[in-house]
Amino acid sequence: MLAPMCLANPRRAMWFALLTTLASVAGGLLGYLIGYFAFDAIEPWLRETRYWAAYEQAVAWFDTWGFWAIFVAGFSPIPYKVFTIAGGVASMALAPFVLASLVGRGARFFLVAGLMAWGGERMEAVLHRYVDRLGWATVAVVVMGALIYSL
* Each residue's pLDDT tens digit, 93-107: 999 999 999 999 999
Contact 39, 88 (CB under 8 A): yes
Q: What is residue 9's predicted lDDT score, i.e. its pLDDT?
A: 93
Q: Is residue 111 classed exposed, middle or buried when 0-12, 13-18 and 19+ CB atoms within 10 A define those classes?
A: middle
Of 65, 149, 80, 75, nearest to 109 (Cα)? 75
CA-CA distance, 118 to 135, in Å (whole number)?
A: 20
CA-CA distance, 67 to 62, in Å (whole number)?
A: 8
Q: What is residue 98's predicted lDDT score, i.e. its pLDDT?
A: 97
Percent of the chain with pLDDT over 90: 44
Question: What's the mean pLDDT in 3-18?
Answer: 94
Q: What is residue 102's predicted lDDT score, i.e. its pLDDT?
A: 97
What band does 11 get if pLDDT is binned at 50, 70 and 90? very high
Residue 14 confidence (pLDDT) above 80: yes
CA-CA distance, 81 to 49, in Å (whole number)?
A: 13
Q: In the chain, what is the straight-line distance between the N-terminal and C-terminal CA atoms, in Å?
A: 42
85/65: higher pLDDT:
85
What is this structure's pTM?
0.82
pLDDT for 31-41, tens place per residue? 999 999 999 99
- Angle at 59 (CA atoms; ends 33, 91), nearest 5 degrees: 40
Question: What's the mean pLDDT in 111-127?
Answer: 87
- Angle at 120 (CA atoms; ends 117, 125), nearest 5 degrees: 120
Q: What is residue 97's predicted lDDT score, i.e. its pLDDT?
A: 95
